[in-house]
Structure 1
Amino acid sequence: MPALVPFEEITHLFADFQHTAFRLETRHGYATDRAGARFQAFLRGTHPAPEPDHPWNVNVREKTAAGARFTRVRLVDDPPTDGQRFLMATAAGNTEAGESIRVLGRAAARGLGLPDFDFWLFDSRTLVRMHIDEDDVTVGVEVVDDHEQVLAACRARDAAWSAAVPTDLVWTRVRSTV
């Protein structure tokens, strides 16, 4: 088992990176979302309002104003799970802050040979592999600086990004069916 650290020990990377922060999300949902009141309200039919003052959105605005980029690709099932629908519904607040979010069907991701784990990639140099248990709880992260693994993550990012579509296009289609 690799050396894991708590997620909190790498949060400085979100402020320290210079050019790009990319996230690949592979899960069907996340325990932190399911535990929140916004998710429960979403399941009852309440569309989540953007949270412009949330620390995540404040940081994204500051970093993008300085010229950095936040990008993210979320894998989605057909049909999307409740967790995936929630993430698409909340993406508008992230994109308003300056983050670019796209979605990619799980079958297409398999065809591209994408990894089956979540990760963050900072400045194409630092890979943070998320370790998430079967209950969708992040149990720790692994900071990877091995060049081969970082290069593989860069290739996965590029393949995923070019094959994915903007989340708002998919959300419009998904939302019309629920």
Structure 2
Amino acid sequence: MTTAFSQATFTGAAKTPQLPTMPSGWPIASYDSYEDAQRAVGHLSTKDFPVQDVTIVGVEPLLVERITAKLTWGKVLGSGAMSGAWFGLFVGVLLSLFTPGAGLLPIVIGLASGLVFGVVFGAIGYGSARGKRDFVSHSQVVARRYDVLCQPRNAETGRDLLAKLAWQTGI
């Protein structure tokens, strides 16, 4: 792995690191969904607009956590057993392949020990939470609106093209 520091140290010439920067440009359109903003940029692309001047910016980001299931002891132990069994099976197969004349014994031992350890570690993890997190969820970052920005040299043309698209399609 190379970094800007390691390249400067070994080659004598440092490269500019890719740090987060604020977007630049003039707003040429705003949309309620990211899909609509992508569609607008796609429309600009089909009109041979220089899309390298365009940026989509999510404004007012929100972290949304969607709850997908309730956790129970049965689900936790079952999940721990399954993941442990798969890992144990993997280790057992590897041992069986690299041990001459071992047969199926390493596979059975790996499967059984993986199952036991999976259940034990699943129980310890769930028990230590003490009911503070009895659900499964998935998080994503969304924005209230998505602005399409364009560099000033092409902003007016881009705004006109997107205004025509909005007039034709209603987005």
TM-score bracket for the superposition, by shorter chain length:
under 0.3
Higher RCO (CA-CA < 8 Å; seq separation 6+) = 2
After TM superposition, the score normalised by the length of structure 1 is 0.21
Question: Going by fraction, where is helix more abundant, 1 or 2?
Answer: 2
TM-score normalised by the chain length of structure 2: 0.21
Rg bigger for which structure?
Answer: 2
